[in-house]
Amino acid sequence: KNEVEQSPQNLTAQEGEFITINCSYSVGISALHWLQQHPGGGIVSLFMLSSGKKKHGRLIATINIQEKHSSLHITASHPRDSAVYICAVDKLIFGTGTRLQVFP
Amino acid sequence: DTEVTQTPKHLVMGMTNKKSLKCEQHMGHRAMYWYKQKAKKPPELMFVYSYEKLSINESVPSRFSPECPNSSLLNLHLHALQPEDSALYLCASSHLGTVYNEQFFGPGTRLTVL
């Protein structure tokens, strides 16, 4: 069993839909990160969380330390949101990623 | 300047070649990382440098040799690679601290070993 698991592995949505990606982890952590990787390779750090909730534009990330679970939400999804979303916890452990495709 | 640059963008090499990947940042970060990423897989950590010293080597074969000549530069020297080493090689940098700090990633070098 991986120490960081994400679900779903693949996700398709219509433009405008609300999207949720989940991340569960089994190790004690100081921080959890959500990363976005577009086709071609570039990785962008979206959020770093150690508690509660953060919002940036249409993106919202939440974390529940007791339940060892985090979610990434995308409101009003857009085709440009199509990417792989990766959850990572400190000690540099990465989840397997969620591949999101948003269709117009 | 909040960018991590990597050169070259693409590299094709034979198994007997020697080549180097380069990474540069000017954000004052004192931690720099090399990752290897195979298709449809998450990045796998290879090496971590802290204050220009190698602090983590994730049991990487010796055909990969990292070098950190100064606080802004990170190299990965490649020699006698195998076709299965073909992958996207990502460099990242971050501030140092007691927790996992936000990493800034370069665009990667796509390596093909023939």
Contacts of A50 in chain B (CB under 8 A): 99
The 10s digit of each residue's pLDDT in B59-102 is 899 999 999 999 999 999 999 999 999 999 999 999 876 455 78
Collapsing DSSP states into helix, strand and coil, what is residue B12? Answer: strand
User: Which residue among B44, B100, B107 sits closest to A41, beta carbon to beta carbon?
Assistant: B107
pLDDT at res. B97? 64
The 10s digit of each residue's pLDDT in B6-65 is 999 999 999 999 999 999 999 999 999 999 999 988 899 999 999 999 988 888 999 999
> Which residue of B lies nearest to A32 if distances are taken between CA atoms?
B100
pLDDT at res. B84? 96
Q: Per-residue confidence at B1, pLDDT binned at 50, 70, 90?
A: low
Q: What percent of chain A has pLDDT over 70?
A: 98
> Which residue of A lies nearest to B99 if distances are taken between CA atoms?
A30
Are A89 and B100 in contact (CB < 8 Å)? yes
Reported in sequence order, the residue ranges of chain B that DSSP labels E, i.e. its strands, are 4-7, 10-13, 18-25, 31-37, 44-50, 53-57, 64-70, 73-79, 87-94, 104-105, 109-113
Are A45 and B103 in contact (CB < 8 Å)? yes
Contacts of A96 in chain B (CB under 8 A): 41-42
Compute the average pLDDT of residues A58-73.
96
pLDDT at res. B59? 87
Please state, in angstroms and rounded to a whole number, the distance separating the CA atoms of residues A30 and A51: 9
What are the residues of chain A with a beta carbon less than 8 Å away from any beta carbon of chain B?
30-31, 33, 35, 40-45, 48, 50, 86, 88-92, 94-97, 99
* Closest-CA distance of chain B to residue A91, Å: 7
Please state, in angstroms and rounded to a whole number, the distance separating the CA atoms of residues A4 and A42: 21
Q: Please choose, from the candidates B22, B19, B34, B35, the residue with its C-alpha nearest in 3D space to the C-alpha of residue B80.
A: B19
User: Chains A and B: how many Cβ contacts under 8 Å?
Assistant: 54
The 10s digit of each residue's pLDDT in A18-52 is 999 999 999 888 889 999 998 877 899 899 998 99
Q: Which residue has the higher pLDDT, B88 or A92?
A: B88
